[in-house]
Chain A
Amino acid sequence: MLETHNLGFGWGKTRCLSGVSLSVKPGEVVSVIGPNGAGKSTLLKCILHILKPGEGEARVHGKNVGALHPRERAMKMAYVPQALPSKFPMSVFDVVLLGRRPYLSWKAADRDIEKAGRELERMGLSRLACRDYDTLSGGQKQKVMLARAFAQDAEFLLLDEPTSNLDLRHQLEVMCLLKEYTAQDGKGALVVLHNLNTAARFSDRIVMLQEGSVFRAGLPWDVLSGKNIETVYGVEVETVGLNGCRVVVPLRVAG
């Protein structure tokens, strides 16, 4: 189980995060939602100790993340950041193989190469193995990043807005792949999402952040009530039923 207890962080006197407690169980997708600047990305970075938490702690299976060796940490948690940097030409396969870094000695063993190959295949990108990562489309890049995270074979995935910048089809594909992976392989996922309908549809639970604190957490439709959304986002919404699905329709900025 991945859990945080009263996690807090600030840059100088500016508080970005305070008293955040949440948990992710294996096989579960938990979404983090909230307006821009609510501290969603900071939360992920604090859990991973990319930013050292000011107070509180994050634990994986009861062990403080800060006390883990970086390599051990990487075996427990995989991370896909928001930005997808591409500084030097690198082949797609090399990018995916990077996910095996925590397990590799100097030489890439056959099983590491096989694993990377399988994850690339799961994404349906085997044909692109030798392509330059830079030359891919945004959707393909995101899938390659996901393949890298899957190849890392960590117990928990932390994804920062994996569907932003993606077209409709890629959004759906990426979320379905994630759902399938967590269910099949028994992995937990903590996902920052902007699209409330995507969050509602694919999450087991949702954590709604407001100004660095948890505003509500629980089952998707308990959290996504019109009143909560209006308070946190300042937008009036209506929830409508459509072919057995419920969707949030934004109406107007709350006055």
Chain B
Amino acid sequence: MFFRDTATVNEAGGRPEATGAAAYGLMGRRKTLGLFALLCLTLGAALAGLLIGTYDTGIRDLAAALLGETGTKSAIILGLRLPRVVMALLVGAGLAVGGAVCQAVLGNPLASPFTLGVSSGAGFGAVLGIVLFHSSHPDAVAASALVFAAISTLLILGINNIRGAGSETLILGGVAVMFLFSSLTSFVQYTGTLQEVGDIVFWFFGSLSKAGWRHIAVSAVMIALPMPYLYLKAWDYNAFLAGDEAALALGVHVGRLRTASICLSALLTAGAICFVGVIGFIGLVAPHIARMLVGSDHRYLLPASALSGAALVALADLISRILWPPQIIPIGIMTSFLGVPFFFFLLVRRTRRRL
């Protein structure tokens, strides 16, 4: 982990190395620093997203637009780019925190609302919505996506309530739910018209262009509502890392918290993807990036995940717009393009460190 580097430097430099509680204090400051760096990165990405595009704008144009000047540049910045950027930040934060919480309560680094089948449920809902209501009714499509995200969550909770079902059962069940909805999606695609198939494929690519302020408001509520609860439970998530039984003995309502957390992370995920389509990988990769920066203490990890997720999606959106103008590469493709190599880099780095 990066934040430990300084300790090694101290040792080599001959300064007295901090031990025990003092070392913990130092570590805390380093984590705060890591959070601050992530915050700067996120703000930077957001600012870049507002200023950079096919149409040249500068910081002065942004200031003018914010001060109420009307004109082409202001319209582009406030009307076109601002909603994209806000949605990107929201989606990234929602997916990342949902992933971090799932990884904690299931004690599995591979867990995320995607592996639990929530997103395939939402995907199938969207597909059904496209076939039934056509893509001219995006609200109906989003509503249908939400309903099926809820249904897949209920399926998962059903598995969770089987007596003696551990987190492995839950993850296997989630993968099964994922395949169920994927095959249902394929079936609808197979029987659909060419137009429908086109719309379906487009929905699955993910696009931030679909988001208007009304959609952003709905997503923001769904993503912001669960956050305080999840954040207050940070210590309980830490206890989960010691295993279910140890967590129970540490006074955590393991069953109840797991159910609540799965529901809330499903809500976060649904809020993130119902309007913009399936944006993969963020829920898995952002918590891991955050963990490498600030460690596994969820008091730091949850905000760090939210920030890394937000920064990643904002950056991916920016790159997707400037890479091949005037084409916009779908965001769902871009997040993986960007996330996978970065993730591999961190993975290799960490493995080397341990050897």
Q: Do A and B bind each other?
A: yes
Interface contact B295-A89, CB-CB below 8 Å: yes
Q: A78 CA to B239 CA in the complex, in Å?
A: 13
Q: A117 CA to B20 CA in the complex, in Å?
A: 5
A window 42-99: CB within 8 A of B = 45, 48-50, 69-75, 77-81, 83, 85, 87-91, 93-95, 97-99
Interface contact A81-B296, CB-CB below 8 Å: no
Interface contact A91-B27, CB-CB below 8 Å: yes
Name the B residues within 8 Å of A249 (CB-CB). none
Q: A95 CA to B23 CA in the complex, in Å?
A: 14
Q: Which of A129-137, A161-169, A172-180 contacts B (4 or more CB under 8 A)?
A: A129-137
Is B188 on the interface with A (CB-CB < 8 A)? no
- A70 CB to closest chain B CB, in angstroms? 4
CB within 8 Å for A101 and B252 given contacts A87-B107, A91-B27? yes
Find the A residue at minimum CB distance from B106: A87
- B32 CB to closest chain A CB, in angstroms? 13
Is B17 on the interface with A (CB-CB < 8 A)? yes
Q: Which of B108, B246, B252, B299 has the most CB atoms of chain A within a 10 A radius of its CB?
A: B246
Q: Which of A119-127, A210-218, A232-240 contacts B (4 or more CB under 8 A)?
A: A119-127
The proximity string for B residues 116-136 relative to A, scoring 1 for CB distances below 8 Å and 0 otherwise, is 000000000000000000000
Interface contact B249-A88, CB-CB below 8 Å: no
Q: A166 CA to B14 CA in the complex, in Å?
A: 33
Name the B residues within 8 Å of A35 (CB-CB). none
Q: A49 CA to B18 CA in the complex, in Å?
A: 40
Q: Which of B51-59, B230-238, B267-275 contacts A (4 or more CB under 8 A)?
A: B230-238
Interface contact A73-B243, CB-CB below 8 Å: no
Q: A79 CA to B244 CA in the complex, in Å?
A: 12
Q: Which of B17, B20, B243, B297 has the most CB atoms of chain A within a 10 A radius of its CB?
A: B20
Name the A residues within 8 Å of B67 (CB-CB). none
B249's partner among A78, A113, A117, A130 (CB-CB below 8 A) is A78
Name the A residues within 8 Å of B252 (CB-CB). 70, 101
Chain B's interface size range is: 35 or more
Find the B residue at minimum CB distance from A77: B249
Q: For the complex, count residues of A whose C-beta is within 8 A of B.
A: 49
Q: A130 CA to B311 CA in the complex, in Å?
A: 28
A106's partner among B22, B235, B350 (CB-CB below 8 A) is B235
B246's partner among A75, A79, A120, A135 (CB-CB below 8 A) is A79
Is A138 on the interface with B (CB-CB < 8 A)? no
Is B354 on the interface with A (CB-CB < 8 A)? yes
B window 1-22: CB within 8 A of A = 1, 4, 7, 17-22
CB within 8 Å for A73 and B251 given contacts A94-B297, A95-B242, A129-B23? yes
Interface contact B249-A79, CB-CB below 8 Å: yes
Is A140 on the interface with B (CB-CB < 8 A)? no
Is B241 on the interface with A (CB-CB < 8 A)? yes
Interface contact B232-A106, CB-CB below 8 Å: yes
The proximity string for B residues 293-311 relative to A, scoring 1 for CB distances below 8 Å and 0 otherwise, is 0011101000000000000
Interface contact B245-A79, CB-CB below 8 Å: yes
Q: Which of B22, B238, B239 has the most CB atoms of chain A within a 10 A radius of its CB?
A: B238
Q: A106 CA to B298 CA in the complex, in Å?
A: 11
- B297 CB to closest chain A CB, in angstroms? 5
Name the A residues within 8 Å of B236 (CB-CB). 101
Name the A residues within 8 Å of B235 (CB-CB). 101, 104, 106
A83's partner among B22, B239, B243 (CB-CB below 8 A) is B243
Is A200 on the interface with B (CB-CB < 8 A)? no
Q: A132 CA to B296 CA in the complex, in Å?
A: 10
Name the A residues within 8 Å of B19 (CB-CB). 126-127, 129
Q: A144 CA to B170 CA in the complex, in Å?
A: 30
Interface contact A94-B295, CB-CB below 8 Å: yes
Is B323 on the interface with A (CB-CB < 8 A)? no
Is B250 on the interface with A (CB-CB < 8 A)? yes
Q: A106 CA to B7 CA in the complex, in Å?
A: 27
Name the B residues within 8 Å of A94 (CB-CB). 238, 295-297
Interface contact A85-B295, CB-CB below 8 Å: no
Is B24 on the interface with A (CB-CB < 8 A)? yes
- A142 CB to closest chain B CB, in angstroms? 14
B window 193-252: CB within 8 A of A = 232, 234-236, 238-239, 241-243, 245-246, 248-252
Q: A141 CA to B243 CA in the complex, in Å?
A: 15
Is B291 on the interface with A (CB-CB < 8 A)? yes
CB within 8 Å for A85 and B243 given contacts A104-B235, A130-B7, A130-B23? yes
Find the B residue at minimum CB distance from A154: B249
A85's partner among B4, B26, B107, B248 (CB-CB below 8 A) is B107
The proximity string for A residues 142-157 relative to B, scoring 1 for CB distances below 8 Å and 0 otherwise, is 0000001000100000
Interface contact B238-A89, CB-CB below 8 Å: no
Is A190 on the interface with B (CB-CB < 8 A)? no
Q: A192 CA to B252 CA in the complex, in Å?
A: 24
Interface contact B1-A132, CB-CB below 8 Å: yes
Q: A50-B248, A79-B246 are in contact. List 16 more A-B contacts (CB 8 A).
A: A48-B248, A50-B245, A85-B107, A85-B242, A90-B297, A91-B24, A93-B21, A94-B295, A101-B235, A113-B21, A116-B24, A117-B20, A127-B17, A130-B26, A130-B27, A135-B354
Q: Interface of B with A (CB < 8 Å)?
A: 1, 4, 7, 17-27, 103, 107-109, 232, 234-236, 238-239, 241-243, 245-246, 248-253, 291, 295-297, 299, 350, 354
